[in-house]
Structure 1
């Protein structure tokens, strides 16, 4: 229910001789984005949403105490070799899709993995949600900031204002337009009129119920930033930091310097 409880569980698993977490950062040319998600999650749990918005807009630097503090928060897990399977060195070289698989080894190599709901598509076949695996909401750190949700999604844009194009765009505002995705699993509807019955997987139905308790929604920050930052220096900087190739202050300054003037 709380960040402190999550850290206590992490330590308890370590005390029992196991590693709590499986984490992987490798994603080809996109290596590093998992760390950007953790930064966004922790910033929303340690600062007001207005701080997050200022950061996205380039008004709050990466080297600010707020953003640096968010990174230092998740570093308590990532950089502790007692907490992560394979230790810090394995994070950068482990493919994102392979990173949760250790939870299903016998005996398990780890017990927890943080990722969006699409990650179940990388789980071994034949597993049942609620039996071989389950999930919980990434817990808040400060009750003052409620239950924030970090989301990402796909967008559609109309380039030709013709009746048939407008009709297609209007159709995309209905939950029926995404019913196939909802039935298959791994996606959530942005349409507020979507009902729990439209989800074909129990995981998404449970996530939908949790979404109703959200106090704040924010879109993925790195996706909203200029490409050379959000899909460039931010990814690279987090990879350099986690691998130990550069210290955090150096990385944050380099990201700030890369922001378009």
Structure 2
């Protein structure tokens, strides 16, 4: 077994220098993160070749409250050696406090810039220094459909937002339903709608204004934010366009929302959701074949000058302690070989250009990875970057109230009041 692992590492070394990895023998690396279940099992698979080849023991501690636990440990002077960070926001806070290791002094930056599009290097940097690397991602800007149902109905995949809305209206005029949307998610109800609005903001206001919105440099009552809500509302609040009408949109669990696409006849034809919805589709419709019975197209452009940006989330690795062991592990995690194990186990995506497409479990996942790697603009889920009182509070609730029929100006004024409090109090405690 050890011989096989070493052989694998030797092959991986052809695509990324692993001599520093193999040189580090013995010791321990501690990592703090949120992973559990399948994600943790997949990460342990990633670590197996590294631990076997180097003799370094990696100890992972999982917590669902990573920001609070990590902040407490850092303030107490007891950070883990490394952490799996959920988004650039927390990375920037830690980097601003001088808590993270400059990975530009650990990794081959010329190679890294060849391996990742500039947007990924920029998102992992703060103050001109690389502070974290990305090992996987989820892509949210996708519209799912059944190609067989499309063909039978004579529908074509839209390439622009206007074409998509024309298709939506055509389906409605035939007495059928274009969209299935589900916003219910227990205590987290509303988040799927925030993804819609974030995607629309990127396509109508552009990434620069999107960043200002996330940072609350523009108010929620700004015309661009209002327009994004209105475009979402043209679909989600229209009983002719959504399966079951707005009432069903509010009560349908997000994991069940794709199911109407696969009934006979279809209850709906389109469903916007992230790459991870494939696991829900397979679980609830075990006879379906990915790529044949369900596939996707990128959510189209609205304003052509902003193209087709990608919205999503990603797993970041930051280093708190500069040791031979942490240097070895972060170098290994930056290799295509390590990330190939990760995506093969989970069906997640990698932004690494040299990850072998054959590592993905199916052609559909390979296509999603291609969209991710080639995206000129990628932005993190905005609600995840906002203070919890806003991103997972007033924003979620505001989406539900808006779809439920509440006046949009009132909804936006309510979110703005929550944001004004949250961002002001955050600055006061900095």
Structure 1 CA distance, aligned partners of 2:262 and 2:292? 12
Contact map agreement 1:186 1:204 (CA 8 A) in 2: yes
1:78 pairs with 223, 236, 239, which one? 236
Kindly indicate whether residue 418 of structure 2 is the aligned counterpart of residue 258 of structure 1: yes
Structure 1 CA distance for aligned equivalents of residues 326 and 248 of structure 2 = 48
SS at 1:41's partner residue?
Answer: helix
Question: Can you give the 5+ residue segments of structure 1 that lack an aligned partner in the other structure?
Answer: none
Unaligned runs of 5+ in 2: 1-158, 425-430
Paired residues for 1:27-38 under 5 Å: 27-38=185-196
Distance 1:187 1:212 in 2: 13
Displacement of 1:184: 4.3
> TM (normalized to structure 1)?
0.94
For 1:1-261, list aligned pairs within 5 A: 1-123=159-281, 124-184=285-345, 186-244=347-405, 246-259=406-419, 260=422, 261=424
Deviation at 1:126, TM superposition (A): 2.2
Q: Please tell me whether Structure 1 or Structure 2 has the larger radius of gyration of its CA atoms.
A: 2
Provide the rounded CA distance (Å) in 2 between the counterparts of 1:134 and 1:105.
16
Structure with bigger strand share is 2
Q: Take 1:5 and 1:136, find their aligned partners in 2: how far apart are those partners?
A: 13
Distance of aligned partners of 1:221 and 1:174 in 2 relative to their CA distance in 1, 3 Å threshold: same
Q: 1:165 Cα deviation (Å)?
A: 3.0
TM-aligned CA deviation for residue 185 of structure 1: 5.3
Q: What SS is found at the alignment partner of 2:399? A: helix
- Residue 3 (structure 2) aligns with: none
For the Cα contact (< 8 Å) 1:61–1:256, is it kept in 2?
yes
CA separation of 1:127 and 1:180: change in aligned 2, threshold 3 A: farther
CA RMSD of aligned residues (A): 1.6
Secondary structure, counterpart of 1:132 in structure 2: coil
Q: CA deviation at 1:252?
A: 1.1
Q: CA deviation at 1:132?
A: 1.4
Q: Secondary structure at the match of 1:18?
A: coil
Tell me if the contact between 1:184 and 1:201 (Cα under 8 Å) persists in the aligned partners: no
Displacement, 1:199?
A: 1.4
Give the distance between the partners of 1:172 and 1:227, measured in 2 at CA: 30
